[in-house]
């Protein structure tokens, strides 16, 4: 016992001597001694992106790999701040998974959620130092994950539920007429599966994935009922149609069924064929032109007017574009005497205001013009029409004149038909005429003149019309 005490005294004396020559105690750190050590081994886990460890005493700070063991330390003197140490592990799991449990020699360590949306979790261990140099209990842990169940929505509609382990692709969205579905987007990235959407960072904190359907307008070719293209490739629903073009006509509009259309409509795209061709029908109004018939008389040169004498002209009104006027038409339709022939051909095609030159050869007979001038009318006269022989009925306006070509020995009949207001009768005032008026069965009135050229000059007749009270 005595000897043990001496050893103790000597030991203390020796320690005092050593400390006397050592560094000042205030410059020493607890890490310079022999602190207690605590061992942590990460045994592994699936779908773990990374594990980082750090402790309050700053004895370790860094990533820990699967199968790796790290050491953190505490002081061995109770009153030091380093005596208690907290070692924290931060776990980053793969997208679409959550950290569900920790197994192994982990005591009462529990999982805390740091950032559920980004899959970050943590857990920690608290250790206290020892009164002597010693080792703490070892910790050996395994991380267990589970796939997250997501709800996938398009607006308010749920289109799928499942996890990132599902390979099922999102069903196509229904497209409006004129459009085609081209895919889903989440966070402005193209996605087909839940995993795609999770990798794109589209899941919110409630594990809801919101998708946006993407559509493209279908390109159509629009043709008229004749097969002419009126709107080319690249035309989509809502695009304006080009105006129709038809030579000699005014374009009135495009019609789809009974409806006039200016743009490609929903009904039109629904009726497109398998090649995305839409057919519309154009409506046009034909242009009408004046045709002037110049009359020439030539005893010596029936093939041209150059050496002949100009006799006058007839104006044919409202002749439709494309009309072909033949020699027979001049005789039978427009009342030109058969002694005339068209200069330079047998027919003329009307494509605008046109002049037709005709010449006659009549060495023994002449011809005259009979003129009628509608010189005025009182109120109550609604309309005036006239017909020369069996030619078409035409309308005559106030102060308008008509000319009837009269050949020698030929009788021509000119009939005027007048419509008056109800309760009125017609009175004709034509100097040199018997002013006889006939009432017709349809309530109109008519009067006529017969011409007969037998070598006399042409006649000018001027008349006015009055609407008088009917008896």
pLDDT tens-digit readout, 24-52:
545 567 776 667 889 999 999 999 999 99
pLDDT tens string 268-305: 999 999 999 999 999 999 999 999 998 887 655 545 55
Instruction: Give the pLDDT band (50/70/90) at residue 4.
Output: very low
Q: Average pLDDT for residues 392-399, to the nearest whole number?
A: 94
Please tell me the least confidently modeled range out of 150-154, 168-172, 241-245, 309-313: 309-313
HSE-CB at 437 with a 13 A cutoff on CA atoms is 20
> Do 102 and 109 form a contact (C-beta atoms < 8 A)?
yes
DSSP reduced 3-state for 330 = helix
Res 120: pLDDT: 96
Secondary structure letter of residue 215 according to DSSP: E
DSSP string, 88-140: EEEEEEPTTEEEEEEEES-TT---EEEETTTTEEEEEEEEE--SSS-B---EE
Q: Average pLDDT for residues 223-229, to the nearest whole number?
A: 86
> Do 312 and 302 form a contact (C-beta atoms < 8 A)?
no
> Closest Cα to residue 403, out of 391, 417, 421?
391
Domains and CATH numbers, the chain: 29-147 (2.60.40), 150-217 (no CATH), 221-284 (no CATH), 288-360 (3.10.20), 367-469 (2.60.40)
Give this prediction's pTM: 0.54
Instruction: Give the pLDDT band (50/70/90) at residue 130.
Output: low
Instruction: Give the pLDDT band (50/70/90) at residue 306.
Output: low
Strand order in the sheet with 367-377: 401-407, 367-377, 460-469, 424-429
Strand order in the sheet with 277-286: 229-235, 220-224, 277-286, 249-256, 259-261
Q: What angle do CA 377, 442, 434 make, to 5 degrees?
A: 50
pLDDT tens string 8-18: 333 333 333 34
pLDDT tens string 79-91: 678 888 899 999 9
Residues 6+ apart with CB under 8 A from 260: 253, 254
Q: Average pLDDT for residues 60-73, to the nearest whole number?
A: 95
Structure tokens at 139: 């910790």
Structure tokens at 468: 């008088």
> Closest Cα to residue 68, out of 37, 51, 99, 43?
43
**Mean pLDDT across the chain:** 85
- C-alpha pair distances (Å), 235 with each of 260, 266, 270, 309, 427: 18, 13, 15, 61, 65
């Amino acid at each position: 016992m005595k000897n043990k005490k001496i050893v103790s005294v000597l030991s203390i004396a020796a320690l005092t001597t050593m400390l006397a020559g050592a560094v000042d105690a205030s410059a020493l750190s607890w890490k310079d001694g022999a602190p207690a050590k605590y061992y942590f081994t990460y045994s592994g886990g699936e779908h773990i992106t990374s594990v980082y460890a750090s402790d309050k005493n700053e004895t370790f700070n860094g990533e820990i790999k699967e199968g790796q063991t790290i050491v953190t330390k505490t002081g061995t003197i109770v009153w030091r701040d380093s005596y208690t140490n907290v070692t924290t592990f931060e776990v980053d799991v793969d997208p679409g998974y959550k950290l569900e449990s920790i197994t192994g020699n982990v005591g009462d360590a529990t999982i805390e959620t740091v950032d559920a949306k980004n899959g970050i979790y943590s857990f920690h261990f608290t250790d206290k130092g020892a009164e002597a140099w010693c080792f703490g209990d070892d910790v050996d842990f395994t991380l267990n994950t589970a796939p997250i169940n997501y709800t996938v929505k398009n607006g308010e509609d749920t289109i799928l539920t499942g996890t990132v382990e599902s390979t099922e692709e999102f069903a196509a969205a229904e497209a409006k007429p004129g459009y085609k579905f081209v895919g889903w987007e989440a966070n402005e990235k193209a996605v087909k599966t839940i995993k795609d959407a999770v990798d794109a960072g589209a899941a919110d904190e409630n594990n809801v994935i919101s998708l946006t359907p993407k559509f493209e307008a279908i390109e159509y070719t629009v043709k008229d009922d004749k097969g002419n293209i009126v709107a080319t490739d690249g035309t989509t629903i809502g695009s304006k149609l080009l105006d129709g073009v038809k030579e000699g006509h005014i374009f009135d509009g495009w019609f789809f069924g009974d409806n006039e259309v200016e743009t490609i409509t929903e009904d039109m795209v629904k009726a497109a064929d398998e090649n995305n061709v839409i057919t519309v029908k154009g409506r046009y109004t034909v242009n009408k032109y004046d045709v002037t018939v110049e009359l020439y008389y030539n005893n010596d040169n029936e093939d041209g007017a150059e050496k002949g004498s100009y006799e006058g002209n007839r104006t044919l009104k409202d002749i439709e574009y494309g009309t072909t006027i033949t020699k027979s038409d001049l005789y039978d339709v427009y009342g030109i005497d058969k002694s005339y022939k068209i200069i330079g051909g047998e027919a003329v095609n009307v494509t605008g205001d046109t002049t037709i030159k005709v010449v006659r050869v009549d060495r023994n007979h002449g011809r005259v013009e009979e003129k009628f001038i509608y010189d005025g009318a009182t109120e109550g006269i609604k309309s005036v029409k006239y017909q020369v022989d069996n030619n078409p009925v035409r309308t005559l306006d106030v102060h308008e004149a008509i000319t009837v070509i009269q050949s020698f020995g030929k009788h021509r009949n000119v009939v005027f038909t007048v419509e008056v207001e109800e309760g009125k009768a017609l009175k004709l005032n034509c100097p040199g005429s018997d002013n006889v008026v006939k009432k017709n069965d349809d309530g109109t009135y008519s009067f006529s003149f017969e011409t007969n050229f037998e070598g006399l000059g042409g006649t000018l007749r001027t008349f006015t019309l009055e609407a008088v009270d009917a008896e």
